[in-house]
Amino acid sequence: MERISLNNVSNLITDGDYIVDGLKLLNKKINIELEVNSLCDIFVDNLANIEEINIVISDDSSLTLSLLGEEKTLKNKINITIKKNGELSGYFADFSENNSDFNCLINLADEFATGSFKVASLAALSDYKKIDISLVHTKPKTHGKVECYGVCKDTASLVFSGTSHILKGSIESKTQQTAKIMVFDKDNKAIAKPILKIDENEVEANHAAVVGKINDEHLFYLTSRGLSETEAKELITLGYLKPILLGFKEEETKNHISSLIEGRM
C-alpha cells in the first residue's frame, strides 16, 4: 500500500502508513499528532532536510516510527510525547557520512505509556557522530527501553548517550538503556554513556554500556573459511547492525539500508 505524504507544518493523523520526506516539507519543522485509538506507521526519509520533529501519541494509540539517515550531515531534534496507553516503537538507521548530531527526547506522559527506541549507526573514515536518546517517566506504570548498537572504524568517532529519568511519583515504572559499540581500529574514539536518574524507589531501572574491539576468534574463524579480512569484517558488521531492518516495512527500503552498510565498509 502506498504511503500518505505528510508535508504540512502541523498534521493530525489516524490509522495508516505515512511518509515524511524532508525534500518535500514546507518547513524544516513538522508537528504530528495521532488521533485517539489510532495505529500508524511513519517512515522519515531525507532526514538531513529536517531540523525538528514533534510527535504526540494520543491515548490508546500506537506508532511505529522509522528514520533513515544517509546524507552527508545530520542535525536533528526529535520530541515525542506518549499519552495514556500509548505505544512507540522507534527505529533510527544512521548510515550518514561525515557528522551526525541526533537528539531524541521521549516523554512517557501518562500511565501505561510505553516507548522503545532502537539505533544502528556506522561511523567510518573521519566521521564524528553524537546520538542521544533520552526518556522521561513522568507518570506511574510507564515503560521505556533504548537500545543503541554501533560500529566504529578508521579514525571515526561515535558517541552514544542518553538519560533515563524516572520522576518522583512514577511508581511501578521500568526503564532500560543499552549502548554497545564495536571498534575496528586503534584510532577510533567510541563512547557509550547511558545515564540513570531515579527519583522514586518503587521502580525497575538498569543500563549497560559496552565498547570493545571486534572479536578476534570470530575474525579468525571466518578468514579460515576462505573470506578475506575485509569480507569477514563486513559480514560481522552486517550481523551487528542488520537487526534494525525489522523496523522498516518495505523490502526496497530494507535492501537499500543493507547496501548502505556494505557501501560504508
Domain boundaries, the chain: 4-214
In contact, 124 and 154? CB cutoff 8 Å: yes
Please give the chain's pLDDT, 265 residues, in tens: 689 999 999 999 999 999 999 999 988 999 999 999 999 999 999 999 999 999 999 999 999 999 999 987 889 999 999 999 999 999 999 998 888 899 999 999 999 999 999 999 999 999 999 999 999 999 999 999 999 999 999 999 999 999 999 999 999 999 999 999 999 888 889 999 999 999 999 999 999 999 988 777 878 788 888 788 878 888 888 888 989 999 999 999 999 999 988 887 7
CA–CA dist 78, 97 (Å, integer):
20
User: Which contiguous run of DSSP H or E holds residue 262?
Assistant: helix 251-264
State the helix-helix crossing angle for 251-264 and 229-241, rounded to 10 degrees: 140
DSSP letter for 49, please: G
DSSP letter for 84, please: T
User: Which contiguous run of DSSP H or E holds residue 182?
Assistant: strand 174-183
User: Which contiguous run of DSSP H or E holds residue 222?
Assistant: helix 216-224
CA–CA dist 229, 244 (Å, integer):
24
CA–CA dist 58, 194 (Å, integer):
28
255 — phi, psi (to 5°)? -65, -35
